[in-house]
Each structure stands twice: as C-alpha cells, then as structure tokens.
Chains A and B, each alone.
Chain A
Amino acid sequence: MTPPPAESVAAMIRPAPVQKDSKVNRDLLRVMEGTSLGYWVLLHIAVFFMLAAGGVWIYQIYKGLGIAGYAHPVFWGAYIVTFVFWVGIAHAGTLISAILYLFRAKWRNAINRSAEAMTVFAVLTAAQFLGIHVGRIWKSYFILPYPNQRALWVNFKSPLLWDTFAITTYATISILFLFVGLIPDLAIARDRAKGWRKILYGTLSMGWQGTSKQWKSHNRTVLHLSGLATPLVLSVHSVVSWDFAMAIVPGWHATIFAPYFVAGAIFSGFAMVLTMMIPVRRIFGLEEYITDYHFENMSRFILLTSLIVGYAYVAEYFIAWYSGVEPEQTSFWLRAFGPYWMSTWTMIICNAVVPQILWFKKARTHVPTLFVVSVLINIGMWFERYVIIISGLSREYDPAVWGIYTPSWPELIIVAGSFGFFCQFFLIFLKLFPVVAIAEVKELEIHAKAHGAEGH
C-alpha cells in the first residue's frame, strides 16, 4: 500500500486556520488536564476488573489451576487464547511506529503515540498470562537461562523458550520506542506543568531543550529503533504461532501459521487501535488531529489483513483436505461443524466476512460503522485463537480421549480482568502523557506551511 503524499495530509488540515504552536500544544495537552466523572467511572470499572482478576489469580495460585475449566486432553485454554490475543493486539503499535515510519507514511503521526502505548500495555497484559497459565508460577523463573550452580539450562528447542525471548525483546523495544518518542512531548509538558508533574516530566524528558543537536540524535534514534523493531513485527507473532505450528497437534501443525498469525496480529492490532481511538477522539475533541482520513487508512489496512486472514482460513481447509491425513481432515471438519462450530463461525464471520464492508468508502468514513466493525474484529480474533487452540486439542489422534473444554468463571474473570488491566493503563496514560505526538503533528504542520497548499 502506497502511503498517500504528505500534501494530502496537509490538505486535510488546511481548512482550519493555521494554528500557532501554542494552539496545538494547548489542544493536545488539554487531554491531560482535569478529569471528568466519566473518566473516573471508566477508570474504576477497569481497576475493578483488574482487581477482581488479581484476586482470582491469587486464589488460583493458592488452590491450583484446577479452578479453571481445563479438561483432559485440552490443557491449554482461555489463558493462552487471551495471551495470543494480546500479543496480536500489540502488533499495530510497532507496525505503525516502525514500518510506516520507514515508509514515511506521514498519516501515522496522529495515531502512532496511542498505538505505541497500546503495544506496550498489550505486551504487558499478554506477559501476565504466561504467569497465569503455568502450573507453578513460583518456579517460572526456571524458563530463564540464568547461570546457576546446579548446571541447569533451558531447552532451546522449545518454542515456549523462543516465546519468552520474543516477548521480552518485544516488550523492551516497544517500551524504548514509546519512551524515545515521548521525550520532546514530555519537554513541552514539562514547560507547562506544575507540582509533581513538573518533577515527573522533568525527569522523564531527560533535559530536552529542543536543540537541533538533540533533534538530530532523536531522529536518528527513532530511525534505528524502527530498523530494529521492523523484524520484530514479523518475528514476534511468528514465534507465537510456532508454539502451535511446531507441535504435532492436528490443526496446529501447519507451515502457514507464521504469516497467518502475523497478518492476524496486524489485523487485530489495527482493530484495537480503532476501538480505542474512536471514543478517545470523540471524548477529547481531537477530530482536528485524528481525522477520518486516519481512520480510513487504518480500515484499508484492516481490509487487506482481513483478506490475508480469510485466505489463510481457506488455505488451512484446503491443505487439510489435500494432505489426505485423516486426523487432520477430521479435526478441520469438527472445527467447522463439531462441538466448537459456534466459535468457528463467529471467527469466520467477524474476521473474514464483516470487514468486507470496508470495500465501500462510505463504510470506511462512517465512524460508527468502523467502531462496530473493529469491535467485531476484536471478538472474532479472540475466537480465532480459541478455535485453533481448543478445537485442535480437543480432537487429536486418540479418539478414546477426545475431550470438551469450556471456560470456567475464574478464567472468564481473569480474561475480563486483562481488559481492565489494559484499559486502566491506557486511561492513566491519557492523563499522564500526550496521547497524540505533539512534535510530530507540528512537523506535519511545518511541512504544510513550507510547501503551501499547492504542494510540490
């Protein structure tokens, strides 16, 4: 997809009178000021779910994983489903920050901050699930290759170990990315803030003065980080997909998994950005900065990745049939028509059918439609992982021990709590840090000013 020329961005902004820097600053920093009742309600709901989930988790550690709905032979359940879901969500940020940056897609500037923040929070949320999922969290440090006198080492053949590295690497890079991007904006905030915020922003902006030398270093750092992060977009979810593809479970053991999962991750990531940013834009009146044009571009990405994901669904079935392997064929038949047919059809309709509406410009520019579509995609992508993991495990090679898994209420609370955990971070972030990258928006404006309406 070719990014639109920068002029068109300027064109979008041009109808408004030329803004002074201070107006941009004011508009964008206003988000951070004051808290409405609605904000507090939302924050309380999020924190409530997070605390409920935390309580259930503590109970689970005390009592045992048996409080979850696991039933032999389905030994992975809603926790791993939600883990993969959040890792997927985490993809939009890096894609927007790194790849689109390298492609110089200027439209990303309005949304990259929120997307990066979401990435960090989604990775943190996902990482929780590794701990929630394991049987003995108090021994889970065994998975780290730390030197020890017992001469114990980790198994580098295990995709779960790759996963550990992939997730920690990704978390590190995305936190760095978010932080480096924040520095100039933090300096702006510092200059206007008082009290504890002054100390916070002062510390975090690390003495940013906006000198050209600093800008030069900053830009170079961002560029290099983008270069580092780009392969991660592809690698992290590839590695996560190998958790499944490397196993011999029918329905998991497929070479298509890496690209399929990466596309799915970007798909769900963009959908989540839409789901979060549509209300934020509305509530904080950021229509000037996050325009329908941004949403439309994201919908195009969603449409593209939806097609890839849809293709993967078809390809999986084709290969299952074409392979002539009976357990594989049975697994896929039962996926669509067996005990988990509802999840499967939810997944297909939400991920492959509903997004087709985005072929129409009307739909792409109609914000309520976009919001509904994005929420449906989020649901569909959760079910995609549910279908792959649960339906695969429940119908394996030995029919005598086919089983049925249904999530239990503690699992559902923890899954709900993960949304609380994520939203809580995001809500706090909204009030602490500029949710739109001020410096980059200004950059666009300068660009527009310099080149004028007529463009090049």
Chain B
Amino acid sequence: MAEIDRRDFLKLVGAGASVASAGCWQDPVEKLIPYVVQPEEINPGRPVVYASTCQECGVGCGLHVRTREGRPIKLEGNPDHPINRGSLCARGQASLSRTYHPDRYRRPLERDAEGSLAPITWDDATARLAAAIGKASGRVALLTAPVGPTLGGLIDQWFTAVGGGTRVTYEPFAPEALRHASETVFGVASVPVFDLSDTDFVIDFGSDSLGTGLSPVEHARQLAAARNASRAEGREARLVYVGPRQDTTASAADEWLAPQPGTEGIVALGIARAAIDAGAVPGGGLAEATVTIARQLSGFDPASVEKRSSVPAATIRRLGAAIAKAKRPVALPPGVALTSRRATATAAAVLVLNAAVGAVGKTVRLTAATGAAPSYRDVALLVDAMRSGDVEVLIVHGVDPVHSLPSDSGFGEALANVKLVVSTASLPDQTSVRAHLVLPDHTPVESWGDAEPRPGVRSIVQPTLRPLFDTRAFGDTLLDTARAMGAQGLPEGSFRGVVEAAWQDTDWFEVLQRGGVFASVAPATGTITEGLARLEFAEPQLEGEGEFVLLAVPSPLLGDGRGANLPLLQETPDPITKVAWQSWAEISSGAAEKLGVKTGDLLAVETPYGKIQVPAWPRGGIRDDVIAIATGQGHTVGTYASLAPAGTLTGPARGVNVNDLLPSLTDESGSRAWLTARAQVRAAGGFQRLPFTQGTDNKRGRLLGERISLVALASGESPWAANESPQEPHGIPAPGGHGEEGAAAAAAAGHSEEHEMLRRYDPVNDSTADDPYRWGMTIDVDKCTGCSACVVACYVENNIPTVGEPGVLRARQMSWLRIERYVGDGEQTLKTGRPGIQNSEKLGSVDVRNSPMLCQQCGAAPCEPVCPVFATYHTPSGLNGMIYNRCIGTRYCSNNCPYKVRRFNWFDYQIEGWPEPMALGLNPDVTVRGQGVMEKCTFCVQRIQLGRQNAADEGRPVLAPGEVKTACQQTCPTQAITFDNLKLPDNTATAVAKANEGRTYHALHVLNTRPAITYLAKVAREEGHEG
C-alpha cells in the first residue's frame, strides 16, 4: 500500500469535506423581520377582529374576520348581527379560502389572437372596455349577482353616465316566486321575513329551511331556541316538513309528509281550510280578508286534498287543528327544488295559510322592497337580445351563468354573438374562461362594500387584507371605465369613498366596529288583494315522459356551484348522503331494486332537454317516483371544481350539472322553475366508486346518537342511568352521588384521590388534582341539524388539509370532527359478503340522529397507554394532548380509539394540502402537521391557551365560565355545542347538562373511557303529544 503523507492526507480530507458538503443542501434562509414602525392595532400573536358581511350567498350574515399580523385567518359570525347572531354556515366558514385560492386571477387578462388569455395592464384593459362601450351606443348589458345598495346605486349612476344599457340581476336560487306571491297576495313586492323565534308550530313546505332555505343559520338558531324554551316550559315546538325527500330540515322535523311533488300548495290550502274550520282567526289587520280567504279555500276540503296530494285527510285535519291552536305558527313556502311552473301559486298558498292562522304580522313580516331584485325573466330577455346581436358588450359580475343557467336557455351559444364579454370573476369559472376581457375583482375580505339583507339591517363589508394580487374592486373598474370614456356625473375618488359617502348618515367608526347599523323596522302592512283570486292552484305541469320526477336539489355546501372550487366545501361530506367530491342521484331503495342498481351503479337519466350519467344513491328517505340530483357540480373549470389535470385549469367535469337536464321554463310570474321535468331513468351498466364518509346509518343499538321520547323524558327515568352511574369495579362499593349531579359536588369537595380505575365516573376527576381546569363539552344531538358548519370551522381553525377525491375514497379525510348520521336505534343485523350502503330511512317517518363525533378527551383514554413514545398523553387540564414532534407514526393510538377520531398524515400535506398561496391563510397558532404523524382534536387548545394568557395578563387566576369557545361551538347555528371548564361550579357545559338531565349519555360508555363530552339525546316528539 502506498504511503499517505501528511499533504495527501490533508488533500483527501479537504476533498472529502467538500464532496460531503456539496451533497447536502440547506433550506433557504427565511427571516423574520420586525416592524420598523409597529402598527398600533397589531400586536404580534394576538388576533385582530374586523366586522364585515358574508358575501357567499344572499342572506347577508354578519362576519367577524379574525386576522393575525395583517392576514385574515378565520371567519366567524358577528354576534351583534341580527341575522346570524355569531354563527356561520359551512359555506360562510369556507368562503375565506376564496382569497387564498391557487386558481385566482392575479392580474387583468385579455384574449389574444391565439385565443388564450394573456396579461394586460389595468389602464389598457379599462381603455379597451371604455372604447367598446363607447362604440356600443347603449347596447351594453351588465349581468350581476344581487349587489349591495352602494354598488347597486353606483351601477345605476354608471349606466346613466356611459350612455345607457341593460342591467340584469341574476341569482339562481333567488326566491322570486315568493316575492311575486307576496305581491299577488298582499300587494307587497318583496320577500317576507319568516321569524321562527318562540314559535310553537312550524310547517315547512319543502324549503329545507334549516339547510338551504331563505335564511338557514337564522332559522336553525330560532327553531333550536324555540324548542329548547318550550321544552323547559313543558310545551312543544313542532316542526312539520312537507317535501318529497328527507333533507336536512326533514331530518330535524317531528313529522314528515311526502306528497306528490308540486302539490305542496294544495296541501297548504287544505291545512288552511282545516285550520279555519278549527277556529283559526287571521290576525295582523287581515281580519276583513277572512272572506277572501274562505272563498279561495272553498274547494280545498281535506278529502279532495287527499285525492290530489295523497296526504291523508285525517292528517290534514290534525295539522289544521294544530296550527290553528298554535300561538306563533309559521308556514314556510317551498324552496328552489320545488319551484314548479306554478311556484307563485304554491308560494301564495303558503302565504294564505299564514294569513289564515294569523301568522302574518306576527311571525311572517312583510317588508318593504329593497334594491334591484333578481329576475329570471330579465335573464331570458338578455339571452334573446344576445342571440339577436343586440348586446355588444356584456359584463358579468359575481355569477357564472354558463354553469348555472339551464343549457336549454341558450346562454352559452348566445355568448358567441357578443363582441366583448367581460368577466370580473376573481376565480376562474365557466363564464370567465369564455370572456374576452377578465378584470378580476377583489375577494370579499379585500373589498369595500355593504349589504342590506332586509330593511333595517345595513351591514358593512370592509377589507382586512391588502389585495394579494393585481386585482381591482368592481366599483373601481366601473368608475375607471367611465372616466376613461370621459363620462360625467360620477363620484370622484375610489369606490371606497363611494361606500363611505353612502354611510354618511351613520357613525362611520361605530359601523366599522359593529359591522353595520341594525335597527328593527316596523313591518310593511299588506292586505289580501284580489290578485289572489287570479291564481290557479293546480298540479304543475311536468315536461317529458318517464316514471321519475326530476328534483334539482340545491346543494347545502356548493350552493348553485359557486362553492365547487373551494376544496373545503368539496371535501365536507353532504349532510344527508355523506358523499364528497362527486355527484350522485338519489332514488328510493324500491326504485333502485326495480332498476336493478345498487349504490354507485351508473344511471342514465334522460329528459327531453338532455341526458346524463350519474351514480345511483338508493335510500329510503325519498319518494319512489322522484330522482334527486344536487346542484353545484359538473364544472369543467377549476383545480378543485373540475377534474383538471394538475397544473391546468380546465378538464373533464367533476360530477354532473343538473342544469343539463332542465329546461329554461318559468312559473306564472316569470321566475325560474326548477321542478319542471320528468326523467327516464335506467341502469347505464357502469359503476363508479363514490367517495362517501359513512357507509351505514345503522348504529346497531350501540350507545351513539341516542334518542328519547318526550314521555320517557317526562317520566324522569333516563335509559342511560345505569351507564351514567359510577363505574365500580367488581366488589368495590360506589361512593355516593350520581352522575352529573355529583359533578358540582365533587368539584366543590375537591379532587378524588382514588386510583383512576376506582374513581366514580365524573369528568372532574380526570385532570390533575391541583389544576384549575378540566375541559369538557356538552353536545345536544337534538339541536344538531347536521349542517356541517362546525366541520368546516374546525378545518379552518386547525389547519386541517383536504385530501381530494382519491383520499376520501380511501377514507383518508382529515376531519377532526365529523357528523355521524344514524337513523333509528339500528338493528344488529349480520349480513354476509362485502357490504353495500345500509340505509334505514323510511318514507314519511323521521328518526335521524346527527351526532357530532370528535375526540372525547377521555379520562381513561385508550390511545394514551399504547403510544410507545408518549406522543399522546394526558395534560394536567384533562385533555388528550398530541405532540406532533414526538409522534413516530405507529398509529397504535388510532387503532385503540373506539371513537375513531384520530387522523394520520399519509402524505406531506404541508406541501400538497396548501398550494401557493393557500398557506397564507393558515392559522399561525396551530402547527401544520408533517408527513407521518397522527393528529386529532384537542378542544382548540390554542384558543384555551390564548384565553389563559389573556386571563394571566389581567391578573385573573382562572378563566371565567364560557370565556373560551372552540371553533365548532362558536359557529354552531343552533348552539348545540357547549364547552367549558368543568371544574367551575357555575360552568356552562355542566349547566346545560344539568338542565337536560335524563337526556345525558356518554358515547360508548360501556368501554369505560370516561369521556369529557356529554351528549344530550335527541327528543322524539311523538304524534299526538302536541300542545
């Protein structure tokens, strides 16, 4: 061997070191740069909250935009806002992700010679638009979603300034028929406000009021409160649902009627007639109208109504008597799915029912008309004008008509005749990809604006983020275009100034703080008009042949399709079927058997207007002659909305667009009719695996999603008392006291020193003796409607990634909180072979338990002892802590968790879950979990920490009751979730549980996991227990 001298040695060492260091690389250096001048309101680590207004749908809920270091990270309801009172729905929760969406248009774009969209400057873009408008000489159309009063006023001014044009307001789900009905019946052309607070009888004629109705968050809150109050007073607040399909509201109802779709109006009139027979008196200054009403109702005796609608006469009489007796009854008119070609008459019939039982003026408030109302008739006229070449410039703002109008309407073809199509979409949609000019608008959290959802409620939209990209507010685009044309008569300055000027009459700073001006306005008065007599109450006409009535159901998550490109909404399972990321067609189990199809088998659905293939979802809760397909899917544009290959925007459609099957038909008053067609359905002979998150609604009698009858509740005997009693090991006598009763006593008496297996079951015992906290929760299954707002709130708050359709197909969705939907107590059936979907729903009967399932923070948690590295452990405050850094990913904890609430990072979702710039919206208080670690709910421990730090700053040793709210609790419209420190004698969670003694149970209690969550069983309000 050759000798190595010192020099060779040094050379080798040097070469080796350089090779070794070249082989490694460093992560790029990122610097935390402090503010040079600290903005006054920004305190690093503390959230700053701004009041604003949700723009996701037309309801106009108030928002609190929670920002951290200048970035909005979470939307919450504004507690001061009269519509939503602090809650928010799933769509509202998810809407923040529009801002951080990877698909966003980042600058204005112009279609170039090759037909693709190329960047352009704002000056050139407005110049081009201005030139086109100048040349069009009034043949300009502006198609917008309903906009706020300020923007609406500006649009009118703008039209005057630029030489005229057509303004069309379009909202696919607008309650136009109801507005027309109100005009026809009462002479007031606006949508009445239905008030469910303190109600004792609600009958919903298919509006899915708690899911997709007129104001779901508000109605769900009011109904839950009414039920709660009435139960406490020994009364009853009853919800009756009339509709062909068991949707969110039917699932929460006490009684469900499923008449022939389209006959809801006839049923309403039958009930009105029965109510008058039972002595109902019209109130609200309508007494003189009794004659008109009675005349109108003469033909609607229960027997003939039974013949026409298949609802038994006895039921009609019973409901009539019940609504006549009710003190604050409400009847809700049909929603989108049931707007037939006689929708105005149907809505009018329901208004007549309200009038007949004296609800008008009490629970049904007529309101003065506000703003430009959406009109489908205008849209149809616009399409005609476009087709005949009478529109040279079309500006589309806030809507996606190519997707949401029926293909039969011809909008898509007519668009080709428009010389200049301008889209202001901030996210690409099917209309914007066909535009010649894309002038992207800011997203709501970047915008100024306002809304007036109902008279007296003026709500502000204020920006909380400097625009991320080179976008421009639509108002400013209008102003700049007009200025480029040299038009006169428009306000100076920017749109922000216009908004501020519009609010001159208010205290601007208070408006910004509170989110608006909320006053109660006296309801408009109306009187029964003769117009009512002109309406014909008859079965609607349905186009086409076929055994099935096609029901286009508004999706509670995707809406008309505007939510389809938000991954959070795609991944949140449908509250009823638990399907995510796909379309499905609901048919009855009987019909499925006849067609020979099972879940996922493709159905060929054909109407005279189109043909689609869609996987079947057989279920019990739908009429045999109805096929229901949800709106919202079927997009061909968007990373998440379509099946676009990675890195592209357009691709094959994800799911189906029900508009492809529907005609462009209207009802008597010109509003869009959705219930218009019969469909021929046959098995198409294929199969598609549907990504669903729950395969059975049979809970097999296990202690999950319980229900108790009012009678049993009144008897004071809890069926779960045996489980709630102390968990004594054999041979060891239980200490005195009982279940929840003992909680406060134990808290007062201090901590039990016995071994944990010997202690009486009381969550208070499951934290360290000298720790002032034991966090616990009470969840009221009776209040939960399954709306899934909590699920989405949890995703946003806790930086939970979405996994897409392939992930959900493997049940890898990361949801820390899921809503289980069980029907009935279930049977312990033992089936063989590979399981199909089990569905125990029955037409016309309701026993649905929506039970939120999240980490139970068990006192004797099965997950804790099995972790070899203490990555999950019991904190002194009684939580099951999860240390992501310590986790090595054995997944033993999840195997041993009976509630199956732990989720595993199968891939590096840090990278895959948040494509740029989505990561900007992450909550900085919550670790983003890396590949290969387990994660789960920890009762929003970051919020607990923030609360404790605040308390410490203020010198308080212990947080006050109810001071910390978890994200799920905060957003729940019905306040089904109460979270608090169980060690405080006056804590809210124990208080709710104590107030509902007899309904309390703990999930899977027999396993002795000592959960910190107390569930309150659903209440069965049996037939004949009215009043």
Contact = CB atoms under 8 A, between A and B. Distances in A.
Interface of A: 63-66, 69-73, 75-76, 133-137, 139-140, 142-143, 152-155, 157-161, 164, 243, 246-249, 326-327, 330, 333-334, 337-339, 341, 393, 396-404
Interface in B911-934: 930-934
Given A327-B702, A398-B900, A136 B888 contact: yes
B339 interface: no
B694 A400 contact: yes
B899 interface: yes
B695 to A, nearest CB: 6
Which residue of A71, A330, A396, A401 has the most chain B CB atoms within 10 A of its CB atom? Answer: A401
Interface in B869-899: 869-870, 886-892, 894-896, 898-899
B908 A64 contact: yes
Contact of A397 (B818, B908, B1007): B1007
A135 B932 CA distance: 4
Nearest to B814: A72
B828 interface: yes
Contacts of A164: 868
Q: Chain B interface mostly helix, strand, loop or mixed?
A: loop
A414 B820 CA distance: 36
B1020 interface: no
B255 to A, nearest CB: 26
Interface stretch (B167-175, B256-264, B832-840): B832-840
Given A248-B896, A393-B895, A160 B866 contact: yes
Given A76-B895, A398-B704, A399-B826, A337 B900 contact: no
Contacts of B870: 152-155
B868 A158 contact: yes
Please tell me the size bucket of the interface on B: 35 or more
Contacts of B834: 338-339, 404
B853 interface: yes
A124 to B, nearest CB: 20
Given A70-B810, A134-B889, A399-B699, A154 B869 contact: yes
B961 interface: no
Contacts, number: 182
B868 A135 contact: no
A134 B932 contact: yes
A330 to B, nearest CB: 7
A276 to B, nearest CB: 31
A404 to B, nearest CB: 8
Nearest to A162: B868
Given A72-B812, A72-B813, 13 more contacts: A64-B907, A64-B931, A64-B932, A70-B906, A135-B888, A152-B886, A159-B866, A159-B892, A334-B830, A398-B899, A399-B826, A400-B695, A400-B853
A63 B903 CA distance: 18
B914 to A, nearest CB: 15
B905 interface: yes
A339 B812 contact: no
Given A134-B889, A393-B895, A337 B830 contact: yes
Contacts of B832: 337-338, 341
10 contacts: A133-B890, A134-B890, A139-B887, A155-B868, A158-B866, A247-B895, A248-B1007, A249-B896, A400-B820, A402-B835
Contacts of B865: 155, 157-158
A224 B591 CA distance: 74
Contacts of B699: 399-400
Contacts of A66: 807, 812, 906-907
B584 interface: no
B248 interface: no
A142 B890 CA distance: 12
B835 A142 contact: no
Contacts of A338: 831-835
A64 B866 contact: no
Which 9 A-B pairs give the minimum distances between C-beta atoms?
A135-B889, A135-B932, A66-B906, A64-B907, A72-B811, A75-B891, A136-B932, A158-B868, A400-B820
Nearest to A327: B702
Nearest to B813: A72
A316 B694 CA distance: 29
B932 A397 contact: no
B810 A69 contact: yes
Contact of A396 (B694, B810, B867, B898): B898
Contacts of B1007: 248, 397
A409 B870 CA distance: 32
Contacts of A327: 700, 702
Given A75-B891, A135-B933, A402-B696, A397 B898 contact: yes
Contacts of A135: 887-891, 904-905, 931-934
Nearest to B820: A400
Given A64-B907, A396-B900, A397-B898, A248 B862 contact: yes
A134 B888 contact: yes
Which residue of B704, B869, B887, B931 has the most chain A CB atoms within 10 A of its CB atom? Answer: B869
Given A337-B832, A397-B1004, A399-B702, A160 B894 contact: no
A338 B891 CA distance: 24
A401 B934 CA distance: 17
A76 B373 CA distance: 57
A139 B811 contact: no
A61 to B, nearest CB: 9
Contacts of A76: 891, 895
B867 A155 contact: yes
A37 B640 CA distance: 56
Nearest to A252: B895
Contacts of A398: 702, 704, 820, 853, 898-900, 1004
A64 B906 contact: yes
A156 to B, nearest CB: 9
B888 A142 contact: yes
Contact of B835 (A158, A333, A339): A339
Nearest to B828: A326
Nearest to B695: A402
Contacts of A134: 888-890, 932
B892 A158 contact: yes
A1 B699 CA distance: 50
A26 to B, nearest CB: 38
Nearest to A135: B889
B822 interface: yes
